Amino acid sequence: MKLINIGFGSMIAAGRMIAVVDPDSAPIKRMIQEARDRGMLIDASYGRKTKAVILMDTDHVILSAITPEMIRDRWQDKQNDAQEEEK
């Protein structure tokens, strides 16, 4: 299981991610509120401005203070590492 650092020492399972999205649209804000109401919201932003919302296959919604682009880059680095290990 590969873990991705989503900021401030928080890690998530790379294989369980469905999407990383920007938090500014109305549908995503509704999704965050619904996850909070169901107890499925994880706030990993540590009080900072939320810059990315990570949707997991477990129905959890995770808030992160790093950008979606940075999460993508870290995920791609993990994928490249895994491919190199297979060689």
Domain boundaries, the chain: 3-78
Confidence at residue 86, expressed as pLDDT on a 0 to 100 scale: 76
| Residue 66 DSSP class | S
Place of tokens 């401005």: 49
pLDDT of residue 25: 96
pLDDT band at 84 (very low <50, low <70, confident <90, very high): confident
Specify the pLDDT at position 41: 98
State residue 5's pLDDT score. Answer: 94
Taking alpha carbons only, the member of 20, 76, 25, 77 closest to residue 44 is: 20
Over residues 30-44, the pLDDT tens digits come to 999 999 999 999 999
The Cα 56–Cα 71 span in angstroms is 14
Q: Identify the pLDDT of residue 22.
A: 96
Confidence of residue 59 (pLDDT cuts 50, 70, 90): very high
d(CA 45, CA 7): 8
